[in-house]
Amino acid sequence: MLKLPALLLFAFAAQAAQHPPYIKREDHDPDGIGVFYMGREIAQVMGHEAADWLDRPERETEEAPTMLVKSLKLKPGMAIADIGAGSGYLSFMMAKPVGSTGKVYAEDIQPEMLDIVRKKAVESGQKNVVPWLGTTTDPKLPAQSIDLMILVDVYHEFDKPYEMVSNMVKGLKPGGRLVFVEYRKEDPNVPIKEVHKMSVAQVRKEMTLFPLDYKETIEILPRQHIIVFTRK
């Protein structure tokens, strides 16, 4: 008789063979890639050339990342994965509360971004931030090793969201948290291009495909949702 984890993996594998299609359309938002998934268009990726925008001084006022990190309730010794870490702006903020016994994987698919992370690590002397090269379908993280995985304004840019989340979930410990931080599509006053926003309803709909439980949406940031799931 199959035990529960084996049953979940079997069901997940069966579901994977029938995941929603990626639909190509000629008529689309110029800021998108023309590929639609579960009713939304996938946005263009922000390249490493725009890394300075991630580190802009006004980001604290506009997005309150200090408040975001506080809301995560990080503890010493935790293993964190910052998916699509970019310049490592948030990775280095999270490295402090997890301490020397913890680790933050600053994962990105752009080697140029990881070069920036390495330079910052050397300059700051921060030794628990690990630059980590993934792919568009797999962050390449050790199986069941991560306590918390966070994606800040990045999920909407995945060109293979189903495959990527499938492999992200494999990297989470049972009970580990998967956190999406996305600009609020529900709010027309958020000054971000439409394809770079996501609604809570859309994120929740897309995560029903995976062995995840929706936990909560935290609405404390000026422009973004904090949408939290846990791995079954």
Nearest-5° Cα angle at 204, 202 to 209: 105
- Measure the CA dihedral 60/43/47/160, to 10°: 110
% pLDDT > 90, the chain: 88
Superfamily of domain 61-231: Vaccinia Virus protein VP39 (3.40.50.150)
**Using CA of residue 161, residue 156, residue 223, residue 207, what is the dihedral sign?**
negative
Give residue 17's pLDDT.
54
Q: Find out whether 85 and 106 touch, Cβ atoms under 8 Å.
A: yes
- Site of tokens 């506080």: 70
Angle separating helix axes 89-98 and 111-124, nearest 10 degrees: 50
Give residue 49's pLDDT.
84
H helices of the chain, where? 4-16, 51-54, 59-63, 65-71, 89-98, 111-124, 161-171, 200-207
Give residue 48's pLDDT.
87
Partnered with residue 129 across adjacent β-strands are 104
Q: For residues 143 and 121, what is the distance between their CA atoms, to the nearest angstrom?
A: 25
Give residue 118's pLDDT.
97
Q: Find out whether 195 and 33 touch, Cβ atoms under 8 Å.
A: no
Give residue 170's pLDDT.
98
Residues of the chain with pLDDT under 70: 1-17
Q: Find out whether 200 and 217 touch, Cβ atoms under 8 Å.
A: yes
